[in-house]
Chain A
């Protein structure tokens, strides 16, 4: 079942992220985002017993000369190794993207696998208008409001990302 993460999930989430990535940097990032109040959407896939997957979206401002696009940065998404390729990651991304739409956000940006995220309508071409420390096929965006990224702008990630 996918549901919003609660504080009682946080230790298990740390464990899931650390094991999924084989290091603690991503888990530390999630905890810093929470500490900074920079969490827009945080979901888990969980049974009554265990957290099996996790996804987090943080606020991302895309600033133009006289406008701001309210976007979300999708990072990280983690699934316990035993459940990878079982559809949990996809379900979390779909649910998380939908929740971002409900929040009235304009777009979502992700740095991820070029052959995985396009199935959720993420596109490297849409990200080309963004001034970011990243570029290339792994840097992708999804418009929740059609045309939202047309004018592009300078990206400001949450502080915890350090970019």
Chain B
């Protein structure tokens, strides 16, 4: 399929005709994904889109709406439903993240998010791989493609810990236990005076590690430093790292998942830490969602993951910009 680099509005006939193959593929993948979840006994849920507390991420901004915010992810609501007794649920719909624009980002985008109660996080990792394969089967391609890269979703996925990825790909050792100064020294990343350890970690990940992930087969980057995993439980074998993973193909992050943290005390501490960071960096903090913390005490052990549907469509169709796969892009 040919991407559409021109500046005509999306409703202009010839531009729509150029985008039409991507959009048809999107609709077909959407149907297939819903079918995939339903055939595996998942229930589709429709959480409220307007929420009082839109998430737990220090560096994500939310769109204000009706005295609250549009959700940046349905995570808090879906965990409440797990607490209520749901076992396998999925959400396939819109999320909002203010100011995120670019070839792979749109402020309004579509997320697939799902949870499995009493399942290890390796199980939702396998789900992710199956969805990559499903999307490629729908579009009839043998590889996910982004820019210069091609990734075979049918190949055995590669699982790499963050520590190993940093050392083997970027030559950065000691990323898990080290402090800010050590990370600056070992990563070679240029740091501003007010950059935190997390800022430097993120920059090193994006600049020096991510481009090499998912080059041949999908890569599951696992075992994140605990301070980079606000909603994930600690790994049993090493309390410095958490059961968080991200899925990559062609250097593109496609999904972010956790073995979910269900300890409300630790969760409260991590949310406060994240909001302290948000306030320090952006002069803003979101309210702690006390109802979510109350529900967490009743939530079963679970694993969950959010996968960017638009990106999945992009890589399964070879689109070069997210606006090629959005029905009504905000341009």
Contacts and interface: CB of A to CB of B under 8 A. Distances in A.
A115 interface: no
Contacts of B151: 11
Interface string B140-157: 000000001111000100
29 contacts: A8-B155, A8-B216, A11-B149, A11-B150, A12-B212, A12-B216, A14-B149, A14-B215, A15-B211, A15-B215, A24-B148, A27-B148, A47-B168, A49-B158, A49-B164, A49-B165, A49-B169, A50-B165, A50-B168, A50-B169, A50-B212, A52-B168, A52-B169, A82-B169, A82-B170, A82-B171, A82-B188, A83-B171, A86-B171
B158 A19 contact: no
B160 interface: yes
B208 A82 contact: yes
B216 A80 contact: no
B182 to A, nearest CB: 16
A19 B151 CA distance: 17
B166 to A, nearest CB: 10
Q: Which 6 A-B pairs have the closest CB atoms?
A: A82-B171, A11-B216, A11-B215, A50-B168, A49-B168, A12-B215
A30 to B, nearest CB: 13
Name, among B165, B170, B188, the residue most crowded by chain A CB atoms within 10 Å (CB to CB). Answer: B170
A135 to B, nearest CB: 33
A157 B299 CA distance: 67
A47 B208 CA distance: 17
Given A15-B211, A19-B211, A27-B148, 5 more contacts: A8-B216, A11-B151, A12-B212, A49-B169, A52-B169
B254 interface: no
B172 interface: yes
Interface in A96-151: none
Please report whether the interface of chain A is mostly helix, strand, loop or mixed according to DSSP: helix
A49 B216 contact: no
Contact of B148 (A14, A16, A47, A49): A14
Nearest to A46: B168
A78 to B, nearest CB: 13
A121 to B, nearest CB: 29
A36 interface: no
Nearest to B169: A50
Interface string A8-34: 111110111011000010010000000
Nearest to B217: A8
A80 B168 CA distance: 10
A10 B320 CA distance: 22
Nearest to A9: B216
Given A18-B148, A24-B148, A49-B160, A10 B168 contact: no
Given A24-B148, A49-B158, A15 B168 contact: no
Given A9-B216, A10-B216, A18-B148, A82 B165 contact: no
Interface string B158-178: 101000110011111000000
Contacts of A16: 212
A106 to B, nearest CB: 35
Contact of A82 (B148, B160, B172): B172
A109 B85 CA distance: 70
Nearest to A80: B169
A52 B168 CA distance: 8
